[in-house]
A and B are shown apart, each in its own frame.
Chain A
Amino acid sequence: MMRSGVLRLILVRLAVAVPLLLVISFGVFSLVHMAPGDPVRALLGTRPSDPETLAALRERYHLDDPLVVQYGKWLGQVLQGDLGRSINGNRLVLSSIKERAGVTIYLLLVSTAIVLAAGIALGMLAAFRRGGRLDRFVVMFGVFGISSPAFVTGIFLLYVFGVVLGWFPTFGAGRGFLDRFWHLTLPSLALALSIMAIVVKITRASMIEVMDRDYVAFARARGVSTTRITLSYILRNALIPVVTAGGIIVIGFLANAIYVEVTFALPGLGSLIVDSVQRRDIPLIQGTTLVLACFVVLVNLLVDVIYTLIDPRIRFSRVES
């Protein structure tokens, strides 16, 4: 019963995702075309151009076809597993994405680890010391992090830990697992700080709510140890809202990663998107947004599945409906 329910959930959501991705890709395609600018001009820069070459370039990238025809050609290619070649640099879009995705995924994983570990711990701490000085400090720290833009936090961290203390490198993504970890510590921290407040606040609020529940009071009365009450009774229940916020957190990371990657000179997907939009590089914009949209759909699906698994109430109501 439970397994088939989850399976059905996954299948239904994946089926819904297909038209959603089509709408997103067509939307982005139209937006790029509506935006003033010209990919061929980005290619040629502030330079006089040879008219024949200009015409050949426009033809190669189908820029003179009507919008729908252009989209159709692109979609036909994608269905055959080919994201095409970028206008700027003539590289396979898929190779560019593969090269860049590594850094971004690493960055997201380390930041998520920091946010979950530090955010939940701080949230718990604040909840236990509710109203106290520590609580106010933690909340203030979170608000400070979320309200200062990631590139400002980034430069600050760079200056303190990169230049003054000299503990971390000032730029680049590093090679190999450990070197990369060393290089990505500061960027991950900058990224984590930009989002941590959400986790801290949600954890704190739901901890406080759960702490006041009858079953917690009952457990205390039964003489269950404080550690067990905190971990199994309070934390487990308090974390449900944190998991549901997981989707928002990951999407927030993606948005902020754009700034962080530029600040720390990391060749990731965020900087790839910024570059491609600046150059109106249509195949590259389409390819990266498609991959990111798939990623967001999958993350949301994953969150819902986890959510369904840890909270039986939702599982049953969803299956019934």
Chain B
Amino acid sequence: MHAPLTRRLFLAGSSASAFMLSRAIRASAQESVEEVRWALPSINDTMFVPRAWSTYVGAIMSLVQEGPLAFADDLSLTPATADSWKQVDDTTYLYTLRKDVTFGDGSPLTTDDVVASFAYHMDPKAGSQLAAFFSSVDSVTASGENEVTVKLKSPNVQYQYTPAHMAGFVFSKKQLEEFPEDIGTPDALPLGTGPYRLVEFTPADSVVLEARDDYWGPKPVAKRIVFSAIPDRQTRLLAAQNGDIDGTFDLAISDVDQWKSLGNVDVITAPSLGIFMLTLDQSAPPFDDIHVRKAIAYSVDREGLVKALLKGNGEAATALNPPEMWAGIMSPDEARQFYATLPTYQFDLEKAKAELAQSKHPNGFEVTVPGSSADPYMINILQSVSENLKQIGITMKVQEVDHNQWLAGYFRHENLGMQIMSYYPDFADAANYPYLFYASANAAQDGMNGSNFKNAEVDKALEIANQTSAPEERGEALKTLFKIVNEDAALVPIFWPASAMAINNKYKLTGYNAFWYNIPWAIRGFGLK
């Protein structure tokens, strides 16, 4: 017991990070817990993130693997296996690795492991699902005994987050080479440098993690974590009521009241940084007409939807970025104040009628909108909008299709008309969503810009926001951008939902945030109350 404590304190001191120190002390004051049983809606067939990039795999693997950086409780970047990092120039990042980091099998972490892991995503033949995060990267090299240098092709602010989420997980180079096909399956359990070791894996069923004594960071409170897949929402609820599980992530917000009434669990919510929206393809009639777009924007009862579908656990969206996405540029409240200065199209059917009357389609038109049957809100949102549109003379048919059909249809990028989309981010950066949904480069097949919105001034602003690291400059550029896109009703934001989890009320988890799938949550304030 004593050895890890001293080492922990020593490490915390040597990394000169008050953040770490406070964590170490908090953890040592905790009693340890033998076993925690955690439910997830599904458990994948592999735990190798490049082939199974999903939030549920992330919730498990963020405890087993980690990257050079991590997200802190406030979603900002914080050191992980790299105890320091710096941006040398516009296109060069330098990471200095800690010397005391080992993989779950005891082998030391080397710069070669980091290089091999990043290079894996960059090799198109590998088919990594996270390849897009490295598209701005030119090279990754071991530039010193403990130094890794990443060179970008051109300046890109968004790259800086890559080493902190699942794309930055460092794999064992030896394991990658030895098991190129089977890494991450039960035949080759994935190694990582995180606080837990993956010791058992039954695909689609369960994963067992064991706390590591030799972890460089704070000592985990839970000695074992057993993840089980429970796909049915009702079954998950019964299992929690029965005390068969200690917690779960990703509750459907519409079920939150039911969970709260169980009595033995606490429901924790946090802004998800996600957004639901309608895109309106302005490359073709009828949505090429700004009055039609404004008519649609006025017809969405955002407050009503937040109340009815989210039971108040969320916020009516007045713009694309959830207020928390402006991290580093302005506070959420400042963002809300800024949005109040923009045209935001509060629900008003009279104004909607007036806009439609001014358009080239004063007598309305017909439109069919596909929505995913797997999403808890999409179909309900569309039905509500359809009811409202009926009153102003627009016939909107809601087509419920299976998730993959909806998704493939959106990305095929043909005859888009009106579409519904939801998006959850991988990091909190104010330029992320605007780039995906407003950049003309993304108004193409496999791109997210379903509105086919193209505006030179917006592209220019995005260039500044993506290439400049000075927050004020980025902020100004993005503010200009938001004025243009809201004025244009380029897409119709609906709501920013909260994310919710449940935990048995004998435990607490203070570090829960939007990135529960990207952070080692079990060492972020998890413990007995």
Contact = CB atoms under 8 A, between A and B. Distances in A.
Contact of B203 (A99, A162, A173, A279): A99
Contacts of A275: 42, 204
Contact of B238 (A42, A55, A163): A163
Contact of B127 (A41, A56, A151): A56
Contact of A46 (B132, B239, B423): B423
Contacts of A158: 235, 238
B408 interface: yes
Contacts, number: 156
Interface stretch (B22-30, B44-52, B345-353): B44-52
Given A38-B408, A42-B404, A170-B238, 20 more contacts: A38-B411, A41-B404, A41-B408, A42-B407, A43-B129, A44-B129, A46-B423, A47-B53, A52-B131, A57-B127, A88-B52, A96-B203, A155-B232, A155-B234, A170-B242, A172-B228, A265-B230, A265-B231, A265-B235, A275-B204
Which 9 A-B residue pairs are closest in the complex by CB-CB distance?
A: A89-B45, A50-B131, A267-B204, A38-B408, A53-B131, A52-B124, A89-B46, A37-B404, A267-B205
Interface in B148-203: 181, 185, 187, 202-203
Interface centre among A90, A173, A262, by most B CB within 10 Å?
A90
Contacts of A57: 127
27 contacts: A38-B404, A38-B407, A44-B129, A45-B129, A47-B53, A47-B132, A49-B446, A53-B124, A53-B131, A53-B132, A56-B127, A88-B45, A89-B46, A89-B48, A89-B203, A155-B235, A159-B238, A163-B242, A170-B235, A170-B238, A170-B242, A171-B239, A172-B206, A263-B234, A265-B229, A267-B203, A267-B204
Nearest to A266: B205
B204 A272 contact: yes
Contacts of A271: 204, 231
A48 B405 contact: no
Contact of A278 (B132, B187, B236, B402): B402
Contacts of B135: 50
Interface residues of A, number: 55
B382 interface: no
Contacts of B238: 155, 158-159, 162-163, 170
Contacts of A95: 185, 187
B418 interface: no
A264 B230 CA distance: 7
Contact of B402 (A37, A52, A159): A37
Interface in B196-255: 202-206, 228-232, 234-236, 238-239, 241-242, 244
Given A90-B46, A171-B228, A263 B235 contact: yes
A51 B446 CA distance: 8
B132 A50 contact: yes
Range for the number of chain B residues in contact with chain A = 35 or more
A48 B235 contact: no
B447 interface: yes
Interface string A133-162: 000000000000000000100010011001
Interface in A117-146: none
Contacts of B53: 45, 47
Contacts of A176: none
A192 to B, nearest CB: 19
A48 B423 contact: no
B125 interface: yes
Interface in A7-24: none
B131 A173 contact: no
B45 A96 contact: yes
A280 B46 contact: no
Contacts of A278: 374, 402-404
Contacts of B447: 48
A36 interface: yes
B393 to A, nearest CB: 30
A170 to B, nearest CB: 4
B51 A90 contact: yes
B45 A86 contact: yes
Contacts of A90: 46, 48, 51, 181
A316 to B, nearest CB: 49
A124 B171 CA distance: 63
A265 B232 contact: yes
Interface of B: 39, 42, 44-46, 48, 51-54, 124-129, 131-132, 134-135, 181, 185, 187, 202-206, 228-232, 234-236, 238-239, 241-242, 244, 374, 401-405, 407-409, 411-412, 421-424, 436, 442, 446-448
A100 interface: yes
B54 A45 contact: yes
A41 B235 contact: no
A54 B411 CA distance: 12
B203 A48 contact: no
B124 A267 contact: no
B131 A263 contact: no
Contact of A163 (B128, B241, B409, B448): B241
Nearest to B423: A46
A54 B408 CA distance: 13
B124 A48 contact: no
Contacts of A170: 235, 238-239, 242, 244
Contacts of B421: 46
A35 interface: yes
A267 B203 CA distance: 8
A171 B40 CA distance: 12
Nearest to B204: A267
A85 B403 contact: no
Given A49-B132, A99-B203, A36 B242 contact: no
A50 B53 CA distance: 14
Interface centre among B202, B228, B411, B436, by most A CB within 10 Å?
B411
B404 A263 contact: no
A85 B181 contact: yes
A41 B231 CA distance: 22
A46 B127 contact: no
Contact of B44 (A41, A50, A89, A171): A89
A193 to B, nearest CB: 17
A5 interface: no
B28 to A, nearest CB: 34
A60 interface: yes
Contacts of B408: 36-38, 41
A162 B204 contact: no
Contacts of B203: 89, 91, 96, 99, 267
A262 B45 contact: no
B235 A264 contact: yes
A38 B128 CA distance: 17
B131 A267 contact: no
B452 to A, nearest CB: 16
A89 B423 contact: no
Nearest to A48: B132
A172 B205 contact: yes
Contact of A37 (B124, B132, B405): B405
A54 B447 CA distance: 12
Contacts of B404: 37-38, 41-42, 278-280
A166 interface: yes
